[in-house]
Amino acid sequence: MKKNIIVTGGCGFIGSHIVEELLKNKKNNIIVIDNLISGKKSNINLKNKKLKFVKLDISKNSKKFDKLFKKVDTVFHLAALADIVPSINNPGLYFSTNVTGTLNLLNACVKNKIKKVVYAASASSYGIPQKFPTSENSKISLMYPYALTKKLGEDLVLHWAEVYKLNVTSLRLFNVYGTRSRTSGAYGAVFGVFLAQKINDKPLTIVGDGKQTRDFVYVKDVAKAFLKSSNLKKNKKIINIGSGKETSVNYIADLISKKRTFIPKRPGEPDRSKADISRAKKLLKWKPSTTVNVGVGVMLKNISKWKKAPVWNKKSISKATKVWFKYLK
């Protein structure tokens, strides 16, 4: 069946993998909207005639923005700013992109009678979880402006579903990693940092003692979850997307390099992370298929991609996270 699809943030880390997955169906026509602040056009295949790229800032509503949604069936909304420290330094900018941008998108969806909206929410909404595995019904605890703005975006999406009868699904993403990840940001940061350090023969910077665990889920598995969500008829569902497993930072480091150095643990970061993915399994008939060992292996084969990435060290990390220690106590 032919579908016209919009992917906001489609040049970014996760968005570009969703675009790649969508292009496997030759009946899909895809519009990628991205302002290229963090995304790269090189992440998508611009030669594909089924793909149209539009450089646009979703926080600035315009007639051009509204026109893009005409005759569109499905919208995958990933456009967002996704860094913790910059969100503390400039909360207004994060509100503008993550909240106002989402509002503009939702209004365009209502006006053009979009059939389905899939929103990329964040597991940062759980703050420091008290129960493991962490379910969608767990307590919300917003530790910094990035988490707040992503949750406000989710609240808008669910409210617009209630009032304006949009069919929406919100996916709360845990620690997504894989190719095209950056060396900063909410998703995949530790992997990008480690790979840039390794290829430049520098020690890996381990936060705290490295025994803290995260629920790492491979980006291609995440992309498939988004596609399955677009076919979900049940409305207003919040669904965790993770691996359902805990992996320590030390374990990841062992897969990449023996050289390492340790830096102080940061306040506001959980010691553990483990998603309850039973809802994803039930509603989406989805579960991740890529192990951490396999996923890291793929990244190591593509390590040259991080050759020119910023290389962090103790001094630069201390300077960059100074505001973190000031406000998150």
Give the CATH number for residue 103: 3.40.50.720
Q: How far apart are CA 102 and CA 282, in angstroms?
A: 28
Angle between helices 292-301 and 189-199 (to 10 degrees): 40
Residue 277 lies in a domain: no
CA angle 206, 221, 39 (to 5 degrees): 70
Q: Among 119, 126, 144, 146, which one carries the catalytic annotation? A: 146
Residue 314 sits in a domain whose CATH number is 3.90.25.10
Please indicate, yes or no, whether residues 62 and 139 belong to a single structural domain of this protein: yes
C-beta neighbour count of 141 within 10 angstroms:
15
Q: Are residues 312 and 248 in the same domain?
A: yes
Separation between Cα atoms, residue 199 and residue 302, nearest integer Å:
11
Active site residue 146: yes
Strand 74-77 and strand 175-177: the pairing is unpaired
Number of domain units in the chain: 2
> Which residue range forms the structural domain that includes residue 205?
181-215+244-271+290-327
In terms of domains, do 168 and 36 share one? Answer: yes
Q: Are residues 223 and 259 in the same domain?
A: no
281 belongs to a structural domain: no
Both tokens assigned to 308: 């020119």
Cα torsion 252, 282, 170, 291 to 10°: value is 10
8 Å CB contact between 228 and 286: yes
Do 17 and 52 sit in the same domain of this protein? yes
Tokens of 253: 């480091």
Residues 325, 267 contacting (CB under 8 angstroms): yes
> Are 188 and 314 found together in one domain?
yes
User: For residues 97 and 3, what is the distance between their CA atoms, to the nearest angstrom?
Assistant: 27
Pair 153, 44 in one domain? yes
Same domain, 126 and 91: yes
Per-residue pLDDT of the chain in tens (329 residues, 90 and over written 9): 779 999 999 999 999 999 999 999 999 999 999 999 999 999 999 999 999 999 999 999 778 888 999 999 999 999 999 999 999 999 999 999 999 999 999 999 999 999 999 999 999 999 999 999 999 999 999 999 999 999 999 999 999 999 999 999 999 999 999 999 987 665 558 999 999 999 999 999 999 999 999 999 999 999 999 999 999 998 999 999 999 999 999 999 999 999 999 999 888 889 999 999 999 999 999 999 999 999 999 999 999 999 888 888 889 888 888 888 888 86
pTM of this structure: 0.96
Say whether both 249 and 233 belong to one domain: no
**DSSP state at residue 134:** B
Residues 43 and 62 in one domain: yes
3 state DSSP class of 240: strand
